[in-house]
Amino acid sequence: MNRKERRALKKLTSDKAAKDLEESLGLFDLLPDNCSTCNKDFDKKSREMAFTWSVVVKKEEKTVRLFCPECMTKAQQVLKGATGTSPEEGSKGGQS
């Protein structure tokens, strides 16, 4: 999407909505077909799954991760047990 198109979008919608749209347009193709943790199949046509599964977008890395409800629960339990530490973020250093 170029600057001109983006400006046109902004006219039609609010700034935030245009940004969201732009982001989802660019990242929807990257949406995985299964859970990023346990590889459980995700049906993109299923509304129930769309509501219960979690999508995590990493704009910097241009990656989209998908987590099934079970893995979300597990992840939350892990986070509770180890507050303040994020092994994945820490090892990468945040530089591109």
Minimal distance, residue 93 CB to Zn ion, in Å:
27
Minimal distance, residue 68 CB to Zn ion, in Å:
4
Site of tokens 């993109």:
44
Amino acid present at 1: M
Q: Which residues bind Zn ion (CB under 5 A)?
A: 35, 37-38, 40, 68, 71
Minimal distance, residue 40 CB to Zn ion, in Å:
5
Distance separating alpha carbons of residues 46 and 2, to the nearest angstrom: 32
Q: What angle do helix axes 15-27 and 3-12 make, rounded to 10 degrees?
A: 130
Is the CB of 18 or the CB of 35 nearer to Zn ion? 35
